[in-house]
Amino acid sequence: DIADIIHFVISRPYHVNIADLIVFPTAQASATIVNRT
């Protein structure tokens, strides 16, 4: 996912300014819950 974002950013034209990118997980547990698969 992060590599896709980096590729997207560096492939924009020179005149495009990307200020922020925020990536949120689709499923996130609390700090006390550990999911080991």
pLDDT tens-digit profile, the chain (37 residues): 899 999 999 999 999 999 999 988 777 767 777 766 6
Instruction: Look at the pTM and tell me if it is higher than 0.85.
Output: no
Residue partners of 12: CB distance under 8 A and separation at least 6: 18
What does the alpha-carbon distance between residue 6 and residue 32 come to, in Å, rounded to a whole number?
Answer: 31
Spacing of C-alpha 30 from chain mean position = 19
